[in-house]
Amino acid sequence: MTTGNVLLDVEHLTMRFGGLVAIDDLSFEARRNEITALIGPNGAGKTTVFNCLTGFYKPTVGRLKLNHPAKGDYLLERMDGFRITQKADVARTFQNIRLFPQMSVLENLMVAQHNRLMKASMWTVGGLLNLPSFRQAEKEAIELAKYWLNKVSLYERADWEAGNLPYGDQRRLEICRAMCTRPVLLCLDEPAAGLNPKESLELNELLLGIRDEEKIGILLIEHDMSVVMQISDHVVVLDHGRKISDGTPTEVKNDPAVIRAYLGEDEDEDLPKEVANDLHMPSHAHGTGHDHGGGQG
């Protein structure tokens, strides 16, 4: 595993819901210019980590330090969700698509830049008077939106209602929308869910391009092991809220603790072929009864 360039430092994160410990003393790092995958069976606590990072939940215990390359350090656990996006430049997508379906594709990307435009308009006055500074900000916002639409071949459909796009395109539009906020950390919750193999490959290319060209950190929750193993620089494995492995994809897939978490020791269960292939395990194996499909968080 590489060192340096630590962008996100999660220290001793614990999240309890009443008597349920969803995250139990979790520590890990995510670096700039890297894709860090957070994997684990259903209910392992992955989405809860995202919810803590983005201000949806206040952690019971723990420190979530974002080392912003331009602005300094932020302790995310002390910030409200909108400030985490606005100030700390953390962006997120959700398991279930959350576009504005009746707005156009382009409008969805302009809404993402609302904060910047409001600031440039001096909270309406500059916009009403159409001041040069506002016109310039608006031009830049449109340019940025077009840049991302070109990246995902949606430029020609900028005027479509977002809800009318095919499913895979909606997923990619969500990523574009997050990128239009100019994040330093992009958190993606199961971006490959429901994609066909060709769309999954395109997603891999998009994410690798974002990592290499934008030089940001990506934190990825994903059940699709072909995506995880092909594009991650670093994988953190959770099971029942605890970290059970942390390393390169090769280190993690050979880790007996990971194999046990996915396969279990007691019951007979078929491991889904694609998980078995990517973890280099037999598809006939023993199981814990953990569900391996893409669940809701």
Q: Please identify which residue in 5, 6, 25, 43 interacts with ligand ATP, judged by CB under 6 A.
A: 43
Give the integer Cα–Cα distance in Å for 97 and 170. Answer: 7
40 binds ligand ATP (CB under 6 A): yes
Interface stretch with ligand ATP, choices 46-54, 128-136, 153-161, 267-275 (CB under 6 A): 46-54
**Residue closer to ligand ATP (CB basis): 45 or 183:** 45
Residues 59-118 that bind ligand ATP (CB under 6 A): none
Q: Please identify which residue in 1, 2, 12, 17 interacts with ligand ATP, judged by CB under 6 A.
A: 17
Give the integer Cα–Cα distance in Å for 36 and 144. Answer: 25
46 binds ligand ATP (CB under 6 A): yes
Minimum gap (Å) between residue 20 Cβ and ligand ATP: 5
Minimum gap (Å) between residue 136 Cβ and ligand ATP: 42
Minimum gap (Å) between residue 236 Cβ and ligand ATP: 12
232 binds ligand ATP (CB under 6 A): no
Q: Tell me the residue number closest to ligand ATP, measured at CB.
A: 295
Interface stretch with ligand ATP, choices 45-53, 130-138, 191-199, 201-209 (CB under 6 A): 45-53
Minimum gap (Å) between residue 101 Cβ and ligand ATP: 23
Q: Please identify which residue in 3, 4, 19, 20 interacts with ligand ATP, judged by CB under 6 A.
A: 20
Residues 48-67 that bind ligand ATP (CB under 6 A): 48
CA 5 to chain centre: 19
Minimum gap (Å) between residue 22 Cβ and ligand ATP: 3
Q: Please identify which residue in 30, 35, 36, 45 interacts with ligand ATP, judged by CB under 6 A.
A: 45
**Which H, E and C letters describe the chain, residue by residue?**
CCCCCEEEEEEEEEEEECCEEEEEEEEEEEECCCEEEEECCCCCCHHHHHHHHCCCCCCCEEEEEEEECCCEEEEHHHCCHHHHHHCCCEEEECCCCCCCCCCEHHHHHHHCCHHHHHHHCCCCHHHHCCCHHHHHHHHHHHHHHHHHHHHCCCHHHCCCEHHHCCHHHHHHHHHHHHHCCCCCEEEEECCCCCCCHHHHHHHHHHHHHHHHHHCCEEEEECCCHHHHHHHCCEEEEEECCEEEEEECHHHHHCCHHHHHHHHCCCEEEECCHHHHHHHCCCCEEEECCCCCCCCCC
Give the integer Cα–Cα distance in Å for 180 and 194. Answer: 24
Minimum gap (Å) between residue 224 Cβ and ligand ATP: 12
**Residue closer to ligand ATP (CB basis): 40 or 217:** 40
Q: Given the rule CB under 6 A, which residues bind ligand ATP? A: 17, 20, 22, 40, 42-48, 295-297
